[in-house]
Structure 1
Amino acid sequence: MNGTIFTYVNRDLSWLSFNQRVLQEAANPAVPLYERIRFLAIFSANLDEFFRVRMSALLELDPLRTSENDEAEPGLLPEVQMIVNRCQNEFGRLLQEQLLPALQQNGIHLYYGEPLLPEHKVTISEYFHSRVLTFLQPLRPETGKPLTFSDNALFLAVSMAGLPNQQPYGLVNIPHENLPRFLTIPGADGQYHLLFLDDIIRQHLGAVFPGRTVTGCYSVKVNRNADVSIADEFAGEMDENIAWMLDQRQAGHTIRFLYDAAMPDDLLEWLTAGFSIPPTALFAGGRYHNLSSLAGLPNPVGATLHYPPQSPLPITALQGESSIFDCLDQQDYLVHPPYQSYNPVLRFFNEAAIDPDVQAIFVTLYRIASDSFIANALISAARNGKQVTVFVELKARFDEENNLRWSKRLKAAGVRLVYSIPALKVHAKTALVKRQRGWQNQRYGLLATGNFNESTARFYTDHVLMTSHVGMTQDLDLLFAYLQSRDQPASYRFIRFEHLLVSQFNLMPRFLALIDREIANRRAGLPAQITIKLNNLQEKTMIDKLYEASQAGVSINLLVRAICTLIPGVPGQSETIRVRRIVDRYLEHGRIFVFHNNGQPETYLGSADWMNRNLYRRIEVCFPVYDPVLRHQISVLLEASLADNTQATELLASQQWKPVDSQGQLIRSQQAIYTYLKS
Structure 2
Amino acid sequence: MSKQKPLLTNREISWLYFNERVLQEAADKTVPLIERIRFLAIFSSNLDEFYRVRVPTLSRLSNINTKAKEVFGYNPKKIIKQIKNIVVKQERKFNHLYEDEIIKELAQEKIFIINEYQLNVARGQFVKKYFKDKLLSTLVPIMLDESKPFPELKDRAIYFLVRLINKDAPEKARYSLMEIPTKSLERFIVLPETNHLKFIILLDDVIRYCLDNIYFIFDYDTIEAYSIQLTRDAELDLDRSVSEKFIDTLTKSLQKRKKGKPMRLLYDNNMPLDMLTFLVDKLDLDSDALIPGNRYHNFKDFIAFPNVGRPELEYEKDPPLEILNLDMGKSIFTQIAKRDYLINLPYQSFDYIIHFLREAAIDPKVVEIDITLYRLAENSRVINALINAARNGKRVNCLVELKARFDEQNNINWTKRLEEEGVQVNYGLLDYKVHSKICLITRKEKGKVSYYANLATGNFNEKSARIYCDHSLFTTHPEITAELKRLFKGLDKKVFYKGYNCLIVSPLETREKVGLLIDAEIKNAREGKPAYMILKMNSLADEDIVQKLYDAGAAGVKIQLIIRGMCTLVPGVEGLSENIEVISIIDRYLEHARVWIFANGGDEKIFLASADLMTRNLDHRVEVGFPILDPNIRKEIRDIINIQLKDNTKAREINSLNNNRYKPKGKVSYRAQTDIYTYLKYKK
Match of 2:158? 154
**Structural mapping, 1:93-172, within 5 Å:** 93-112=96-115, 114-141=117-144, 144=148, 146-161=150-165, 168-172=174-178
Q: 2:231 aligns with which of 209, 223, 242?
A: 223
Whole-angstrom distance in 1 between the partners of 2:622 and 2:72: 19
Question: Mind listing any 5+ residue stretches in structure 2 that lack a counterpart?
Answer: none
- Number of aligned residue pairs: 672
**Structural mapping, 1:37-436, within 5 Å:** 37-60=37-60, 63=63, 73-112=76-115, 114-141=117-144, 144=148, 146-161=150-165, 168-212=174-218, 213=220, 214-436=222-444
**8 Å contact kept, 1:58–1:72:** no
Q: Structure 2: which amino acid aligns with 1:381?
A: A
Whole-angstrom distance in 2 between the partners of 1:358 and 1:47: 45
C-alpha displacement of 1:62 = 7.7
Provide Cα deviations, 1:622-656, integer angstroms capped at 9, x if missing partner: 11000000000010011011111111111223444
User: Which moves more between the two structures, 497-506 or 368-377?
Assistant: 497-506
C-alpha displacement of 1:342 = 1.1
**8 Å contact kept, 2:159–2:228:** yes
1:8 equivalent in alignment to 2:8: yes
**8 Å contact kept, 1:382–1:413:** yes
Match of 1:438? 446
Provide Cα deviations, 1:208-239, integer angstroms capped at 9, x if missing partner: 22312352110001000112242344321122
Q: 1:666 aligns with which of 642, 664, 669?
A: 669
C-alpha displacement of 1:574 = 1.1
Match of 1:547? 550
User: Which moves more between the two structures, 456-465 or 232-241?
Assistant: 232-241
Provide Cα deviations, 1:271-301, integer angstroms capped at 9, x if missing partner: 2233222322111211111111111111122
Match of 1:500? 503
**8 Å contact kept, 1:61–1:253:** no
Whole-angstrom distance in 2 between the partners of 1:246 and 1:353: 34
1:608 equivalent in alignment to 2:611: yes
Secondary structure of 2:176 counterpart: strand
Whole-angstrom distance in 1 between the partners of 2:454 and 2:617: 20
Q: Structure 1: which amino acid aligns with 2:151?
A: L
Provide Cα deviations, 1:178-207, integer angstroms capped at 9, x if missing partner: 111100013222211111010111112223
Match of 1:480? 488
Match of 1:17? 17
Secondary structure of 2:76 counterpart: coil
C-alpha displacement of 1:6 = 2.9
Whole-angstrom distance in 1 between the partners of 2:115 and 2:57: 35
Match of 2:678? 675
Match of 1:28? 28
Provide Cα deviations, 1:301-352, integer angstroms capped at 9, x if missing partner: 2421111221110124222432101111000000001011111111111111
Whole-angstrom distance in 2 between the partners of 1:70 and 1:634: 38
The 1:49/1:512 distance shift into structure 2, 3 A limit, reads same
Whole-angstrom distance in 2 between the partners of 1:660 and 1:535: 19
TM-score for the superposition, normalised by structure 2: 0.95
C-alpha displacement of 1:145 = 5.9
1:454 equivalent in alignment to 2:462: yes
**8 Å contact kept, 1:169–1:267:** no
**8 Å contact kept, 1:503–1:619:** yes
Whole-angstrom distance in 1 between the partners of 2:655 and 2:149: 54
Provide Cα deviations, 1:373-408, integer angstroms capped at 9, x if missing partner: 001111111111110111010101111111111111
C-alpha displacement of 1:114 = 3.9
Whole-angstrom distance in 2 between the partners of 1:70 and 1:146: 39
**8 Å contact kept, 1:140–1:209:** no
Provide Cα deviations, 1:8-66, integer angstroms capped at 9, x if missing partner: 11111110001111111111111111111111111111111111111113334885799
**Structural mapping, 1:525-536, within 5 Å:** 525-536=528-539
**8 Å contact kept, 1:257–1:283:** yes
Whole-angstrom distance in 2 between the partners of 1:100 and 1:113: 16
Tell me the percent identity.
39
**8 Å contact kept, 1:389–1:417:** yes
TM-score for the superposition, normalised by structure 1: 0.95
**8 Å contact kept, 1:233–1:422:** no
Q: Structure 2: which amino acid aligns with 1:457?
A: A
Match of 1:509? 512
Q: Structure 2: which amino acid aligns with 1:88?
A: E
Question: Mind listing any 5+ residue stretches in structure 1 that lack a counterpart?
Answer: none
User: Which moves more between the two structures, 342-351 or 204-213?
Assistant: 204-213
